[in-house]
Amino acid sequence: MAFLGIQNGFDFILANFVQSRFAEAAAYTSNNPESTPLNVNVNKNIGRHLAAEIETKWDRFLWKTAEDIQPFYAKYSDELNHVRALGDAWCTNDTKIACISTFVEMEILYMRLRETQPKVVIEACPNSGWSTFWILHALKANGHGHSHSFDKSAKPIKAGHVIADSPSVKWTHHQGDIMETFPSQLTEEELNDVDYVFIDMSHFKPLTLWYVENIFGYFTRRTYAQDKVILVGVHDVYNHWYPLCKAAPDSSDPSVEGLVVYQWIVENANFVRSAFEWSKFRHQGSRIKELIEVRQKVTGKDCDAGVHGIMNMRNWCDVLTLYFNLHVPSKSY
């Protein structure tokens, strides 16, 4: 397999990425001594915990700038316009559908799935099926793949219509508490073939602590015959309407999820690659503006900066997802 030795540059990116998040957490805990502090002792030499080389094939998923994403928007613009139109009609005509992830982040999800060509996708949790809709459209375009959804809610049947005419694409909905159904409801072969994990669960600290240990941690502890890369997306890793530094570590404030995830990244940095984020809140709108301009130029679609209520977020000019790759070597470090 081909490798590219770019450790120093990547170390700098990741170290700054996580240290800036935990600086905010440290500021909060120091100003609020009554709160239960998280571990915010960020290793300033985080790079030494990383593998010396990064696989060229997967480093291309480090989409930190609009320039990085532009080729993929150009490549998939027709597909995106088609799926977006179908999704817009679906959300508009069915008032029971909660389309609370923006088009931009669903498009990035779609493009990553198209580029990765995953055999197996894990989705937790689909709710009414908005992310399922995009995942299944991507697998349908790939011509193969099996998506496993985990949710306490009943199967969002309508999303299944996407692959009604695609026998090579499968979708399995595991109804119940994911803490009881994962990973036991997947076969060993399916678990070995997981290439993408999409997380959009209840944003409370106990559940976040569970999934970083029992989903992310589970895959990093598995033994693979060869190096394994799993792309990850965590939606609402912090909610942009709640400043991260104001999240009480033990509260049910959605922002707490971000503190737990970033802490896991710090403590497991040797497994993390290509971490990036685009949120308007994190970057004061500068980077997302560039991305929206690229998106508009390529697809002809603009977004809306207005707020139209929690159930109609799909056209917001924001991306509330944290992206990174889990890189699990065939042998332990």
**What would the pLDDT profile of 54-87 be if each residue is shown by its tens digit?**
344 456 678 888 888 999 999 999 999 999 988 8
CA distance 22 to 18: 6
CB-based contact 150:174 (threshold 8 Å): yes
Name the DSSP class of 119: S
pLDDT digits (tens, 9 = 90+) for 182-241: 999 999 999 999 999 999 887 777 888 999 999 999 999 999 989 999 999 998 775 543
Spell out the alpha helix ranges (H) of the chain: 7-31, 56-59, 66-93, 103-116, 130-142, 178-181, 188-192, 205-211, 217-221, 256-267, 280-283, 286-299
Antiparallel, parallel or unpaired: β 272-277 and 321-328: antiparallel
The pTM is what? Answer: 0.79
Q: Which residues contact 44 (CB under 8 A, 6 or more apart)?
A: 15, 19
Looking at residue 330, its pLDDT comes to 86
Name the DSSP class of 229: E
